[in-house]
Amino acid sequence: MMETIMEAIGIEVVEITEEKVVATMPVHGPTRQPYGLLHGGASVVLAETVASVGSFNLVKAENKAAVGLEINANHIRSMREGKVKAVGTPLHLGRKTHVWDIKITDEETGKLICVSRCTIAIIDNKQ
């Protein structure tokens, strides 16, 4: 199996349905910035992972791939330790693009850490 950024930083997908994708990520060494806080880039990786996995699950075609086209994120609150939970829900499911809303919260308290919107392109997968 190919090692991906998911394994490198500890992202675990815990639920995949047609209505949502849920994943968790620890706040630890690889996901912290130099000041000990959750790195905003790690939150963005988590958000795009949730959207990409969700779109790939919906496409269900061997000759298609789901890849990030655009993403934005608003970092609301910081974290130093624990685990974050991302819940992604589709806002638009077109033939060539999907748009996802992703909310990242502190898994323990439920407090909002980051909100993100990610556009996924559905492309031909020529392996």
Query: Each residue of 51-84: pLDDT tens digit?
Result: 999 999 999 778 899 999 999 999 999 999 999 9
pLDDT in tens, 41-52: 999 999 999 999
CATH number for the domain spanning 70: value is 3.10.129.10
List the domain range (segments joined by +) for residue 101. 5-124
State the catalytic residue, choosing from 48, 62, 107, 108: 48
Q: What pTM was estimated for this model as a whole?
A: 0.95
Q: What is the DSSP string of 38-106?
A: BPHHHHHHHHHHHHHHHHHHHH--TTEEEEEEEEEEEE----SSEEEEEEEEEEEE-SSEEEEEEEEEE
The answer to whether 16 touches 60, Cβ cutoff 8 Å, is: no
The tokens for 15 are: 């639920």
- Give every CB contact of residue 123 below 8 A, 6+ residues apart in sequence: 64, 65, 66, 67
Q: How many domains does the chain have?
A: 1
Active site residue 48: yes
